[in-house]
Amino acid sequence: MGLEERAALVTGASRGIGRAAALALARAGAKVAVNYSTNEEAARRVVDEIAQGGGEAFAVQGDVSRSEDSARMVSEVLGRYGRLDILVNNAGIARDNLLLRLSEDSWDAVLDTNLKGVYNCLRAAARPMLKQRFGRVVNVASVAGLMASPGQANYSAAKAGVIALTRTLARELGSRNITVNAVAPGFIDTDMTRELSAEAREAYLKRIALERFGRPEEVAEVIVFLASPAAGYITGQTVVVDGGLSI
């Protein structure tokens, strides 16, 4: 995929889709900063796996909902690799509930991590990317940001915000050769979806054209593509990776 000499930061890379994206970017030749929030051991395992495959990576702690953490993470990448070419805004959480039971805390936690976190990291990363006149940003949204998702008012609002932010920043940053795209996964088999009840999983399965859940690696391949030279003329887009869930 031609990502040699590129430096990447993947948020929420200790597990799930972020982990798969970090591994796939490293396989494509990029050096990768593996961000985690609390799960240091899992992040170290990802770094080890990348090193075992002959790649280069380091783990960086930081809570994306905190602007100072996001700025520090970007500084650490610049300190280590001297540049930041690829930013994958993947860190995310879900706190599902129907509106009347949806607490203000759950609303704030999801908006702060899933939407403000993207703003925080992009704001920190934009400066070095503008200077380099090169950047590839991939935001991990969700089909919940494109279609109704009962029980996920906070999550779907945040993800719709990410899709809008993607389009707007693609326009703002395009003149400096920075592309900003999003992926919108459907139901991917990770810790996040393993928390759902058997009934909820079954109900999703019935709606998926390919009749199976997605694998984190299937989202990661699209992230790598959007960061690669092959996608150099694509910006402001949201690529749906959902096995036909939303059609």
Name the site residues for ligand NAP (rule: CB under 6 A).
Answer: 11-18, 35-39, 42, 63-65, 90-93, 113-114, 140, 142, 185, 187-188, 190-193
State the DSSP H helix or E strand holding residue 137, giving kind and residue range, or none if neither.
Answer: strand 135-140
- Catalytic site residue from 36, 81, 119, 155: 155
CB of 36 to ligand NAP, least distance (A): 4
Tokens of 207: 């709606």
CA 184/CA 102 separation, integer angstroms: 24
Give Cα separations from 47 to 31, 127, 155, 164 (angstroms).
10, 26, 29, 32
Instruction: Report yes or no: 180 and 88 within 8 Å, Cβ to Cβ.
Output: no
By beta-carbon proximity to ligand NAP, the closer residue of 1 and 93 is 93
CB of 4 to ligand NAP, least distance (A): 26
By beta-carbon proximity to ligand NAP, the closer residue of 5 and 41 is 41
Active site residue 155: yes
Please enumerate in sequence order all residues whose Cβ is within 8 A of that of 211, keeping only pairs 6 or more positions apart, or say none.
205, 243
CB of 190 to ligand NAP, least distance (A): 3
CB of 64 to ligand NAP, least distance (A): 4
By beta-carbon proximity to ligand NAP, the closer residue of 82 and 150 is 150
By beta-carbon proximity to ligand NAP, the closer residue of 27 and 66 is 66
CA 122/CA 130 separation, integer angstroms: 11
Q: Just list the catalytic residues.
A: 155
